[in-house]
Amino acid sequence: MLAMASDLVVFKLPDRKRVSVRMVPRQMEDEPVAEAMDKARAGGAMMVTVAGPGPVPVRLQINRSVYHLSLDPRRSLLDALRLDLGLTGTKRVCNLGECGACTVLLDGRPIDACITLALECEGHEITTIEGLAADGRLDPVQEAFIRFDAVQCGFCTPGQVLAAKALLARNPRPSDEEIRHAMAGNLCRCGTYTNIVQAIRSLASTHDPNPSRSLDPAAPDTRPLAARPSGAPDQPGQTSRRPRGRWRPPKDTPRPG
């Protein structure tokens, strides 16, 4: 492959296991540069365009909306989402593509936003956690994570939910082994793996007639009792049955000493 940089001609010949890279300053006489390019093409190299080094216009399709940005070609998709667009649901943790906290969907496929250039995503549909809820209603995957308490600190949850969404889109009936394999790239330091598998399994094995609920806290919860999160109120206005605040024993409980 041959790439034109801002002041260099870079040759990458693909006929070897280790790619050979040769750099020729563009300030050289035209004839030597042209001769070097001809030799590179004869060796099977291809010419590609490299953007930069300054900011370049980038058009991104995110959550069914289009954004026009001016970005450094080196800017990661994660930085573009968080810093340039304020979509902070995508989390930065390892910044090495190892933990999965920054998972987003690119044309429905899970990717690590921290090691993906924003420039590479032009012409593709990007879905972040902010784009799952529609018309004020949670996505069924989000609802399942709530129902099975598949969260603790919640920092890895956006990536977990999007990875699960992609799994169910390509395999609506995954086995437990397939679920664990698909979710292996998303780490949970709180250790909620069992609950995550249960949440995904519930969507793979049953069809909830009303799998999503309104985000409006005053809206009635019309789901069957078995489909509601533990402690959810039966009717709007009722308080949750789950205890809140610090637990204190009854006054008649014997105390030590």
In this structure, are strands 103-106 and 125-127 parallel, antiparallel, or unpaired? antiparallel
Using DSSP's 3-state secondary structure scheme, residue 215 falls into coil
Determine, yes or no, domain membership for 31: yes
Token pair in block for residue 100: 């999965």
Task: Answer yes or no: is 222 within a domain.
Answer: no
Q: Which residue has the higher pLDDT, 12 or 110?
A: 110
Q: Is residue 154 in a domain?
A: yes
pLDDT class of 184 with cuts at 50, 70, 90: very high
Task: Tell me the percentage of the chain whose pLDDT exceeds 90.
Answer: 57
| Per-residue model confidence (pLDDT) at position 26 | 46
State pLDDT tens for residues 20-48: 444 444 444 455 667 776 777 777 766 55
Does residue 228 fall inside a structural domain?
Answer: no
* 88 domain residue, yes or no: yes
3-state DSSP assignment of residue 190: coil
- DSSP for 80-91, please give it: IIIIIS--TTSP
At residue 243's C-alpha, the angle toward residues 212 and 200, to 5°, is 35
Q: How many CB atoms lie within 10 A of CB 29?
A: 8
Q: What is the dihedral of CA 135, 139, 145, 147, to 10 degrees?
A: 70
Burial 137-151 (b: 16+ CB within 10 A, else e): bbbbbbbbbbbbebb
Q: Are 79 and 116 in contact (CB under 8 A)?
A: no
Number of domains in the chain: 3
Q: Which whole number is the average pLDDT over 223-230?
A: 43
Residue 189: CATH number of its domain: 1.10.150.120
Asked whether residue 65 falls in the same domain as residue 29, the answer is no
Q: Is the pLDDT of residue 219 over 90?
A: no
Name the domain boundary from 213, 230, 252.
Answer: 213
Same domain? For 35 and 96 the reply is no
| pLDDT given at position 32 | 66
- 68 in a domain, yes or no? yes
Q: 42 and 15 in one domain?
A: yes
Domain that holds residue 62: 56-131
In this prediction, residue 38 carries a pLDDT of 75
Examine the domain organization and report whether 95 and 162 are in the same domain: no
Q: Is residue 252 part of a domain?
A: no
Looking at the structure, do residues 125 and 73 belong to the same domain, yes or no? yes
**67 shares a domain with 41:** no
* 233-247: average pLDDT: 43
Q: What CATH number did the domain enclosing 100 receive?
A: 3.10.20.30
pLDDT in tens, 46-56: 655 567 778 99
Please state, in angstroms and rounded to a whole number, the distance separating the CA atoms of residues 97 and 103. 9
**Length of the chain in terms of residues written:** 257
Express each pLDDT in 63-121 by its tens digit.
999 999 999 999 999 999 999 999 999 999 999 999 999 999 999 999 999 999 999 99
The verdict on residue 169 lying in a domain is yes
Cβ neighbors of 188 (< 8 A, separation 6 or more) are 152, 156, 160, 196
Range 206-219 average pLDDT: 48
